[in-house]
Structure formats: C-alpha cells, structure tokens
A and B are shown apart, each in its own frame.
Chain A
Amino acid sequence: MLDKLKIPERHYMNDGHSLRSWLLTKDHKRIAIMYLMSISVMFFIGGLFAVGIRFELATPQGDFVTADTYNKFFTMHGVIMVFFFLIPSIPAVLGNFLIPPMIGAKDLAFPRINLLSLYIYWLGGFFTLYAMIVGGVDTGWTFYTPYSAASSNTSVVPTALGIFIAGFSSILTGLNFIVTIHRMRAPGMTWFRLPLFVWAHYATSLVQVLGTPVIAITIVMLGVERALGFGIFDPARGGDPVLFQHLFWFYSHPAVYIMILPALGVTSELVSTFSRKIIFGYSFVAFSSLAIAIFGFIVWAHHMFVAGISTYAAMVFSFLSFSVAIPSAVKVFNWTATLYKGATSWDTPMLYAYGFIGLFAIGGLTGLFLATLGLDVHMHDTYFVVAHFHYIMVGGAIMGYLGGLHFWWPKMTGRMYSEFFSKVSAIMVFVGFNITFFPQFVVGYLGMPRRYHSYPDEMQVLNVMSSAGATVLGLGYVLPVIYFLYSLRFGRVAGPNPWGASGLEWQMQSPPLTENFVEVPVVTSEPYEYEHLVAKEKHLV
C-alpha cells in the first residue's frame, strides 16, 4: 500500500517559488523552515568554537591559542549556543510548524508578527556575528560587571545589542503561541485533549514572555553604564555588581527552562507514539510543565551561593531550587511508566527519546548536587557545573530537538530519511556525548575551574578523554545534515502518517497544504487514541 504513495502536487513548499514568496510569507510552516536553516547555521558556528575550546584543553599548558582568543572562544560559544540556537531551536522550528495543525488551526494568531520575529532574529544574529568578526567579546556569556562594564576592551556593546534584539524575537514567538493556544483551538479541542507538545510550548511561552524583558533591561543598564559612563553597577561609585547577577539570573535561569521544556514536550510525544499507548498520567505530565515554568522563576539565586549573597537568602533559594526537581522527576517516571505494557519499537526518533530520558535524568540529578548548599560552595564555577548544564542542554535539549526533527521530518518534507544512517548517528551522538561530558564531572569535583585555558597537569587525562569524545560528538551531528539533505531529493515518499501517530497533524497530507486542513477538523476523541486509529486503518485496508 506504501509504494503507490507519491508527493501531493500542491503543498506549502511549491505554493510560490519566488524569493519574495518565501521572504514575505505569512505561512507559519515556511517561517519554521527558514528558522530551521538559520539556527542550523548558528549551531555550526557555535560548534566551531566548541571544537576550538576542546583542542585548547587537550594540553594543560593551553598553547593552542592565546588566553584572549580562548576567552573569546568560550564567550562566543556560550552566546551563540544559548541565545541563537538553544532558545529558538524547538519552539521556532517544530513549535512554529506544528502547533497550528496540532490544535486544528489554519495558522498562528499573528502571522505577520511571526515573520517579524524571524526578521528580528536575523537582525540580532547580524549584530552578534558582526561583533564576532570585528573582534569578538571576552566577558563570558554571563557578562558579569564590573569586568564587562569597565575592564573588557572587546566589543561588548554590539554583542549585547544583538542579544537584546534576539530577545524580542523570543518574546514575539512566545506571545504568538499563548494567544494561538488560547483562542484558536479547533472545536472540541479542549485543554485536556491538547497534545503534550502543545502544553510544553504553552509553558515555554509563559517563561519567554515573562522572563526575557528582564534580561533586556539588564543589558540596557549594562550598555548605558559602559557606553555613557553611568554608574548603576560600578563599585567605585557605590554600585553593587551582585545586583547585576540578580537581574541577569532572574531571566537566565528560567531561560534554561525555555530550552528544556520544549524537548520534554517532544519526548512525551515520542514515548507515547512509539509505545502505541496514551502517556501515563496525562494531566500530571501536562501540569508538571506549568509547574517547571512557574517554579523556574523563584530559584535563580542558586547560581550565586558564593557570590556574596546573605546566608539566609542562600538557604531560601536552595530550598526552593529543590521544588523544581520534583516536576522533572514526575515527568521521567511517567515516561518510564508509559513504556510498561506498550508496543514499543526501535525507530530513530525513539532512540533519541531513550537517550534523552537517560541523559536528562543524569542532568537533573546532578542539579541536586548543585542545589545543595554544602556542595555548591566546592562545585560552583568548576567543570562539574559545565558537565551538569551540558547534560541538560546537549543531552536533553539537543537530543530532544533531533528526536523531534527525525519524528516530524516526513511530515515537513514528505520524505523519509535513511533508517540505517540515522540510527548510526543517534548512537554516535549518545556515545560521543557521554565520553565528552562524563569525565568533566570527575575533573570538576577535583576542582578544575571553568573558563581556564590551562590547568594543572594531573587533570590532563580526563580532559583528553573529553576532547576525544567531542570529536565523536561532532561527527555525530554532521551525519544528520547529510542524510536529511539527501532525503529531500532521494528519500522514500512518507505519506501522511508513516509512524501511525495519533496527533491532528498526522491527519494532514505531508508536506501539508498552506492552509493545513481542507476543512476545520472537529475533535471528538481523547488524545493519543490509538484504538480508533487501528480501526480506521483496518477499515481502509
């Protein structure tokens, strides 16, 4: 039945071929594809800096590049990866493409604002890349004053301007999603029939809208202090550098939840689809996304336990930081329970989901170490912290992103990618990732500080292991680019529902029409209803 499938002659990609039809499009799917291309470029650039860092750290003396260049490497790696890849990755690509069809809408609530968000992202990217070319910035992605305001003589203000602008792209995407999910659900699509992917993006959008402005004002204050000589954070005039850290982390901790929540949503979809079964404890998983988003706002000072905040404040924030661990644990346990008595399969997206659950669990659990006051004094700003957030960002967010990409690629392009190579790349990514970042836990507890280009000799073996793993990980990321592009031309035709999934988006043709559905769907069944899907297939066959 599969072989007579062919690509439908009318779909959103051949609905106008001119550059104008792409650059001035209002179709959320085309905007998602343009975002996919932009953030892939940014991921490649950020990855280059990571390679530079790992080469430098292969030797204790740090003689691959000078100290200044190394400082610029890790700063640009941080800035580009955080603000230009991780924050937009799943919401702007998969979220943009899939939320309207998943809730049965023709498009997002504000299509023009969606396009504006893409242009703003490009403008922000332009300023940051301009700053990178002109000389880069060496303050670390955290821009702590007074170094960033007074001592650094690198192009801090252009980079800060780039991040300030990119922040608005994130705000507009979040705003668009919230209004769409509230006001444009198809008839019958109640809140508890929404796919968990949509719940996760609703929570992410709340954080994007409520958190991003605070880093915008923090950057304005930094820019004003550096460019005009104002004295808000200047210790010589009585200012308090710790205040900058408070304002910075008020956004930047919820920002890590912007990065991970969409990946949690993707994994809930994958686990449910590939065990052919409704997720275990749907409402608990849905509300745990909201809980993570809201608790994410009250824990920020666990980044500052040794930064000079008072003992009392440290205790309060440490206590609250444990509250965020509970919803994450609930999610992991619910995924595990979903697999029980399911009908699982080892397709590539599911491989990424397995990898995600394992690595996200380790990432989350190592967060407990850092939330514990007694340990954070020893571990703060060492490689233990670097390993922790890479387990969440790379092991979690990027594995989730790749899993989602592999799952919805047939829907986005109508083509299947090569099964064999995608499994090889999934395993390479998993293995390469663990070799790269697990030794960093050990070298971190040994006391190797962050952002050092040279380290004591006895820590060399662990660092060389990490650098070796980084090359395997790097190769693992290059493979998907190859077989995805290859599949565009030569991939097997996928048909509307290659995985037999249950979401509304799988009832559209793939690649979908510009207006998604021929006529507005009415939702009657519960989410993840596989029973009637099988019945429909039997009826068809």
Chain B
Amino acid sequence: MSDAVAHADHGHAHAAHHPALQHHFDTMRQQKEAAVIGMWLFLLTEILFFGGLFVAYMIYRVWYFDAFAEASRRLSIFWGGLNTAVLIGSSLTMALAVRAAQTNNRKWTVNWLVLTMLLGCVFLGAKVIEYEDKFANYEVPGSSYNWLYHEQHAAAGGDHSEAGAAAEGHRELSLTPAQLQNTTQIYFSLYFTMTGLHALHMIIGVGLMLVITRMAWKGKFDAEYFTPVELSGLYWHFVDIVWIFLFPLLYLVERP
C-alpha cells in the first residue's frame, strides 16, 4: 500500500482538461485507477455474496451426498454445457469490446457489445427452458414438490423416467425415497437460489451494457476515457466466473 500519491502540479495551468475529468480528481490516470479499484471492491462484495451460498452448498453436499447426486442427474448436461460455452464466448466478445474502446474503434466497440448482449440473452433463454422443465416435473421446492412424480405417473413416459429409473436401479442409496423427497428439496432450493441470483446478475449486466452501448454509439469513449466499458467488462467477467463455478457444482456432482 505504499504506492506514491498522485502528484498534483501546483501551477494553475493544468494540462488541457479531458471533458470527462471530474473536478475533484487531479489527473485522468488517478480518476481511472480510483474507478477500477472501486469496481474491484464492489466485486469483492459479490464474491462474498455468492460465498454465503457456497457455504450452504458445501455443508449440505457432504451431509446429503446421495440426494445431491440423484438430483444433479436430473439436470441436463447439454443445456449446462451450452450455457458455459455461451458465457465464455460472451466473455471473449466483452474483452474484445474493451480492447476496441481502448483503440478508439467506435464501430467495433458497439459491434462487440451488441454481440455480448446477444450471447447473454441466449444464456437467459436456455435458463428459461431449464426452469420450465423443472416446473413441468414438479422439481420446484415447496408444497408442489414431488420427487417421485415420474414413478407415480409411469404413464407420463418421456425420456425422463426410463433413463432415471434404469440408471437408478443399480445404485444402492443411503437415503430412503421419503428422505430423498425432503433432502433433494434442499438441493433444488440451492439450485434455484444460485442460478436465479446469477440470472438476475446477468439481466443487470445486459441492462448495464445497453447504456454503455448507447454511450459508445454516441462516441463518448476514446483511448484516454473508456472507464465505463472497462467497468462493465469487469462486471461481466465476474458474472462469467460465478457460472464457471456454478456449472460443475450443480450439474456435475456425480455422473456415472
């Protein structure tokens, strides 16, 4: 913490003011660094925000591993994998957008930002499909939750029940179906809370980028001042990192 304090030149003839330099900062460099550290401190709060959920996940995963494994098998790896790829792709396009802003390339900044928002919407679309599937199979915790819905409604058919039943047959579980009915609700409670909060952060991110794209479109950014793009980039990459952890935790508990 011993970095030097930005030295303000005392003379009243300051360098030509960049329009975006705020009155209480001395140089653009000081303002930019303050903004980045401020953003990183905010990301700290987000790390600990999701950290609380990871504590709950960790404890219950050890206590009810079989319930977590069984419930995790009900999630489709296809959609999870696709979402991970989509989000990593959007991280790439975001990084390129920041690079474009850094190099005064207004057109490509807007293009990359739009592409990032598109990929974000694809991700949210996939999430809606997955949630819909959960609602259809009575896997939303609460009064409507029914773990044995498919066994009770064998006629309902669909790929869910055969694959599930067949695979389940050969594993001996430490929890009775009745206990599974309860403890898998904890898994799905955590699933919905984690992915729900993550999706909420995605929506805020897309909204943020709409504003940034409009500012980019109006040519507000240049090599000296592109802080808003940089900060929304940091936020977007953070949301991607959260999903990088959520994907293995929720989807890949135990896939025989």
Indicate whether A and B are direct neighbours in the complex (CB within 8 Å). Answer: yes
Q: Is the CB of B193 within 8 A of A237?
A: no
| Given A214-B51, A243-B56, residue A230 in contact with residue B142 (CB < 8 A) | yes
Interface residues of B in 36-54 (CB under 8 A from A): 37-38, 41-42, 44-46, 48-53
Q: Is the CB of A183 within 8 A of B34?
A: yes
B10 at the interface (CB under 8 A from A): yes
| Complex CA distance for A220 and B198, rounded to whole angstroms | 13
| Given A175-B41, A179-B34, residue A231 in contact with residue B5 (CB < 8 A) | no
CB distance from B245 to the nearest CB of A (A): 15
Residues of chain A at the chain B interface (Cβ within 8 Å)? 105-111, 113, 171, 174-176, 178-179, 182-191, 209-214, 216-218, 220-221, 224-225, 228-232, 236-240, 243, 246-247, 250, 515, 519-520
| Given A106-B23, A212-B45, residue A228 in contact with residue B52 (CB < 8 A) | no
Q: Is the CB of A232 within 8 A of B183?
A: no
Interface residues of B in 114-162 (CB under 8 A from A): 141-143
| Complex CA distance for A419 and B21, rounded to whole angstroms | 45
Checking A188, A221, A519 against B52 with a beta-carbon cut-off of 8 angstroms, the contacting residue is A221
For B56, list chain A residues within 8 Å (CB). Answer: 221, 232, 243, 247
Q: Is the CB of B44 within 8 A of A209?
A: yes
For A175, list chain B residues within 8 Å (CB). Answer: 38, 41-42, 45
Q: Is the CB of B193 within 8 A of A230?
A: yes
Q: Is the CB of B186 within 8 A of A220?
A: no
B197 at the interface (CB under 8 A from A): yes
For B63, list chain A residues within 8 Å (CB). Answer: 238, 240
Q: Is the CB of A210 within 8 A of B48?
A: yes
For A183, list chain B residues within 8 Å (CB). Answer: 6, 30, 33-34, 37
CB distance from A191 to the nearest CB of B (A): 7
CB distance from B17 to the nearest CB of A (A): 15
CB distance from A311 to the nearest CB of B (A): 19
| Complex CA distance for A190 and B193, rounded to whole angstroms | 45
Checking A111, A187, A229 against B24 with a beta-carbon cut-off of 8 angstroms, the contacting residue is A111
Q: Is the CB of A232 within 8 A of B189?
A: yes
The closest CB in chain B to the CB of A202 belongs to B1
Q: Is the CB of B1 within 8 A of A209?
A: no
| Complex CA distance for A257 and B10, rounded to whole angstroms | 40
The closest CB in chain B to the CB of A219 belongs to B52
| Complex CA distance for A218 and B38, rounded to whole angstroms | 24
B179 at the interface (CB under 8 A from A): yes
For A111, list chain B residues within 8 Å (CB). Answer: 22, 24
For B49, list chain A residues within 8 Å (CB). Answer: 213-214, 216-217
Q: Is the CB of A109 within 8 A of B34?
A: yes
Q: Is the interface of A mostly helix, strand, loop or mixed?
A: helix
CB distance from B211 to the nearest CB of A (A): 15
B232 at the interface (CB under 8 A from A): no
| Given A213-B48, A216-B49, residue A238 in contact with residue B64 (CB < 8 A) | yes
For B1, list chain A residues within 8 Å (CB). Answer: 182, 191
Q: Is the CB of A224 within 8 A of B193?
A: yes
| Complex CA distance for A510 and B8, rounded to whole angstroms | 25
B55 at the interface (CB under 8 A from A): yes
| Complex CA distance for A436 and B48, rounded to whole angstroms | 39
Q: Mark B52-67, 1 if CB is under 8 A from A, else 0.
A: 1101100110011000
The closest CB in chain B to the CB of A175 belongs to B41
Given contact pairs A182-B1, A229-B141, A238-B186, a sample of 17 additional A-B residue pairs in the complex whose CB atoms are under 8 Å apart:
A187-B5, A187-B7, A189-B5, A209-B41, A213-B51, A214-B48, A214-B51, A214-B52, A216-B45, A224-B189, A230-B192, A231-B141, A232-B56, A232-B190, A237-B182, A238-B63, A247-B56
CB distance from A286 to the nearest CB of B (A): 12
Q: Is the CB of A231 within 8 A of B41?
A: no
| Complex CA distance for A488 and B51, rounded to whole angstroms | 48
| Given A182-B37, A213-B48, A238-B182, residue A220 in contact with residue B24 (CB < 8 A) | no
A-B contacts, 28 listed (Cβ < 8 Å): A107-B23, A107-B24, A109-B34, A110-B34, A171-B45, A179-B34, A179-B37, A179-B38, A182-B37, A183-B6, A183-B33, A212-B45, A213-B48, A213-B49, A214-B48, A214-B49, A217-B50, A220-B197, A228-B141, A229-B142, A231-B141, A232-B189, A237-B182, A238-B179, A238-B182, A238-B183, A243-B56, A520-B10
B176 at the interface (CB under 8 A from A): no
B109 at the interface (CB under 8 A from A): no
CB distance from B173 to the nearest CB of A (A): 14
Of residues A111, A239, A247, which shows the largest number of chain B Cβ atoms within 10 Å of its Cβ?
A: A239
| Complex CA distance for A440 and B60, rounded to whole angstroms | 40
